[in-house]
């Protein structure tokens, strides 16, 4: 039962006798606070406190707004309830419950006799974390279930909870979402270690294998305000040594409910992170220092609603990462696509301009690939393109970019690479393609070849578009030279062209102005 009530009133209108007698008969202690007193007012240290204001005969909207404003300023986070006076009010001052709730009163008693029962109801809602939405809000949500923070949540903890919820929306991947969640949880609830474990999905059932995603130790719990300089600690990679999931954590994943237990002197709490009827992971908190107290029911009531947006953030970060990956990846070969090529080339050209380095582009087109589709079908041709990706990738560096440009055309970008080295890489890829035996996914045995065009920034082009265009032009020269060969876009390297010794005469694709500045 709520132990104490603060009756907020004006010095000129003390609370009615009926109101105080009702509180005394219900075993509820109280004291009267004059709202006219200046300065912040400190409430006693009891856990359960409620502000009570009696609506008397002189009540009006302006007065009640003033009561709510001063009550929130002096006792932030405490619920404020209203009680109508036992003596009748004039018709002009009668305000319905809905109007009073819009003003800021969380509950209304029609007479002092209802107060004990109303206070018990508020206490039950605070313990369970239930929060009753107004009817108009519930209709606006169209039936969507919105997790609510406990009604008893107040002050600093309430502020940190909302900061955590807002920060979760900014997480770009699962790792960051886990760090954000643990930073917020650790700022609100003390523990020796907080960890988020991810579950594995096997044949539709949750596996008992729990993989740690992020962990947070007391050393990382520096005295930083969570919504002030908290970004500094969010991205601090000095986390605690991650331990295996406890039995309590496994039990929470299996039972899909919060579990609190004492494991060999350690106080452990575990809450499943559920999204769309799937257990994505488990939030685990451990207190293992001597004399550490058990996690309380009120702490569980705080963590349970926070577990819902944490699970949603983990799920959404995966969807966002998958969407970004798919938008930049070729579905068939799993290589990068033309959209990624544009981004990659712009960045590499900028870097090359700044540091006066070079970027090489290899444009390769498979020779007579239409014959494969005509003889064996397009499924075999598609599988051959997948095999082609496995031939090209091992021939380049991890920092290089391999792109399926379209159809049977591929582009390879080689950062910090000049003409000579680009020639060697292109010839190595050409030889591997020529020697590889393709199966088409049907145990066939056929060979393919490719024609290569080479262009280098800034020798042959001064922009990303020009670089690809020059390599493409050189590739058509290789086709004209008999296929399965290499051509370079510049006459200075004509002596290295295979099969033919003539130089390539290609119109310039950029202009120079008198002061030698380049226009791309």
Euclidean distance between the first and final Cα of the chain, in Å?
77
Structure confidence at residue 141 as a pLDDT band (50, 70, 90): very low
In this predicted structure, what is the pLDDT of residue 135?
40
- What residues are paired with 428 via a beta bridge? none
In whole angstroms, what is the distance from residue 47 CA to residue 63 CA? 29
Give the relative orientation of helices 297-327 and 115-128 as an angle to the nearest 10 degrees: 50
In whole angstroms, what is the distance from residue 92 CA to residue 89 CA? 8
Structure confidence at residue 279 as a pLDDT band (50, 70, 90): confident
Is 445 strand, coil or helix? coil
- Scanning the structure block, which residue is given the tokens 């003003």? 103
Domain 155-325 is in which class? alpha beta
In this predicted structure, what is the pLDDT of residue 450?
95
Residue 169, token pair as written in the block: 């929306």
Is 401 strand, coil or helix? strand
Higher per-residue pLDDT: 343 or 221 = 343
Alpha-carbon dihedral sign for residues 312, 318, 322, 324: positive
In whole angstroms, what is the distance from residue 130 CA to residue 148 CA? 7
Structure confidence at residue 89 as a pLDDT band (50, 70, 90): low
- The torsion defined by the Cα of 302, 308, 309 and 310, in degrees rounded to 10, comes to 90
In this predicted structure, what is the pLDDT of residue 42?
55
In whole angstroms, what is the distance from residue 207 CA to residue 211 CA? 11
Q: What is the pTM of this model?
A: 0.50
Q: Is the peptide bond before 20 cis (omega within 30 degrees of 0)?
A: no
- Helices (H) and strands (E) in the chain — how many of each? 15, 17
Alpha-carbon dihedral sign for residues 169, 170, 174, 178: negative
**Is residue 229 predicted with pLDDT exceeding 70?**
no
Q: What percent of the chain has pLDDT over 70?
A: 75
**Is residue 496 predicted with pLDDT exceeding 60?**
no
Distances, alpha carbon 392 to alpha carbons 395, 426, 438, in Å: 5, 10, 13
Distances, alpha carbon 342 to alpha carbons 321, 349, 393, 415, 483, in Å: 19, 11, 19, 14, 27
Q: Beta strand 49-55 with 80-84: parallel, antiparallel or unpaired? A: parallel
In this predicted structure, what is the pLDDT of residue 127?
53
Structure confidence at residue 107 as a pLDDT band (50, 70, 90): confident
- Residues 152-195: pLDDT tens digits? 566 667 777 777 777 787 777 888 888 888 888 888 888 988 99
Contacts of 413 (CB under 8 A, 6+ apart): 341, 344, 345, 348, 359, 360, 361, 362, 400, 401, 403
Query: Residues 259, 251: contact at Cβ < 8 Å?
Result: yes
Contacts of 392 (CB under 8 A, 6+ apart): 402, 410, 412, 429, 432, 433
Superfamily of domain 4-128: Response regulator (3.40.50.2300)
**Is residue 221 predicted with pLDDT exceeding 60?**
no
Q: Report the run of H or E that residue 518 belongs to, with start and end.
A: strand 518-519
Would you tell me which CATH number, out of the four given (3.40.640.10, 3.40.50.2000, 2.40.50.140, 3.30.70.270), belongs to the domain 338-519?
3.30.70.270
In whole angstroms, what is the distance from residue 54 CA to residue 22 CA? 13
- What residues are paired with 327 via a beta bridge? none
Contacts of 514 (CB under 8 A, 6+ apart): none
In this predicted structure, what is the pLDDT of residue 360?
96
- Tell the burial category of 513 from Cβ atoms under 10 Å away from its Cβ (0-12, 13-18, 19+): exposed
Residue 128, token pair as written in the block: 């369970």
Spell out the domain ranges in the chain: 4-128, 155-325, 338-519
**Is residue 121 predicted with pLDDT exceeding 80?**
no
Contacts of 378 (CB under 8 A, 6+ apart): none
Task: Select from 54, 4, 9 the least CA-distant residue to 30.
Answer: 4
In this predicted structure, what is the pLDDT of residue 124?
64
Higher per-residue pLDDT: 486 or 513 = 486
Structure confidence at residue 495 as a pLDDT band (50, 70, 90): very low
């Amino acid at each position: 039962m709520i132990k104490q009530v603060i009756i907020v009133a004006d010095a000129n209108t003390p609370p009615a006798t009926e109101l105080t007698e009702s509180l005394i008969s219900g075993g509820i202690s109280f004291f009267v606070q004059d709202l006219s007193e200046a300065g912040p007012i400190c409430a006693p240290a009891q856990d359960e406190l409620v502000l009570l204001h009696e609506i008397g005969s002189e009540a009006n909207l302006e007065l009640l707004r003033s009561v709510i404003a001063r009550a929130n300023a002096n006792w932030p986070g405490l619920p404020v309830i209203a009680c109508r006076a036992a003596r009748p009010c004039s018709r002009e001052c009668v305000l319905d419950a809905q109007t009073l709730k819009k003003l800021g009163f969380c509950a209304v008693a029609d007479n002092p006799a209802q107060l004990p029962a109303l206070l018990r109801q508020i206490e039950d809602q605070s313990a369970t974390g239930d929060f009753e939405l107004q009817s108009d809000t519930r209709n606006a949500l169209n039936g969507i279930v919105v997790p609510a923070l406990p009604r008893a949540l107040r002050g600093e903890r309430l502020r940190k909870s909302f900061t955590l919820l807002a920060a979760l929306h900014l997480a770009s991947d699962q790792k960051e979402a886990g760090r954000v969640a643990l930073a917020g949880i650790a700022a609100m609830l003390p523990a020796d270690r907080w960890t988020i474990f991810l579950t594995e999905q096997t044949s539709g059932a949750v596996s008992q294998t729990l993989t740690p995603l992020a962990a947070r130790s007391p050393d990382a719990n520096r005295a930083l305000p969570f919504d002030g300089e908290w970004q500094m600690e969010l991205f601090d990679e000095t986390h605690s040594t991650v331990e295996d999931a406890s039995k309590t954590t496994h039990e929470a994943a299996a039972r899909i409910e919060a579990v609190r237990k004492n494991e060999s002197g350690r106080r452990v709490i575990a809450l499943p992170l559920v999204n769309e009827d799937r257990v994505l992971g488990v939030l685990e908190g451990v207190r293992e220092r001597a004399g550490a107290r058990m996690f309380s029911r009120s702490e569980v009531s705080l963590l349970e609603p926070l577990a819902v947006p944490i699970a949603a953030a983990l799920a959404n970060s995966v969807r966002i990462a998958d969407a970004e990956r798919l938008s930049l990846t070729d579905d068939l070969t799993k290589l990068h696509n033309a959209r990624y090529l544009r981004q990659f080339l712009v960045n590499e050209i900028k870097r090359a301009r700044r540091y006066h380095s070079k970027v090489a582009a290899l444009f390769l087109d498979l020779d007579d690939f239409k014959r494969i589709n005509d003889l064996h079908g397009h499924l075999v041709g598609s599988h051959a393109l997948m095999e082609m990706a496995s031939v090209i990738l091992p021939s380049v560096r991890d920092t290089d970019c391999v792109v399926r440009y379209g159809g049977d055309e591929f582009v390879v970008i080689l950062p910090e690479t000049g003409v000579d080295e680009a020639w060697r890489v292109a010839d190595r890829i050409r030889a591997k393609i020529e020697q590889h035996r393709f199966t088409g996914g049907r145990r066939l045995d056929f060979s393919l070849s490719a024609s290569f065009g080479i262009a280098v920034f800034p020798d042959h082009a001064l922009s990303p578009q020009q670089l690809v265009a020059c390599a493409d032009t050189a590739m058509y020269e290789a086709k004209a030279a008999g296929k399965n060969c290499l051509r370079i876009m510049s006459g200075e390297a004509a002596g290295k062209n295979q099969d033919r010794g003539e130089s390539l005469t290609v119109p310039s694709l950029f202009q120079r102005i008198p002061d030698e500045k380049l226009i791309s």
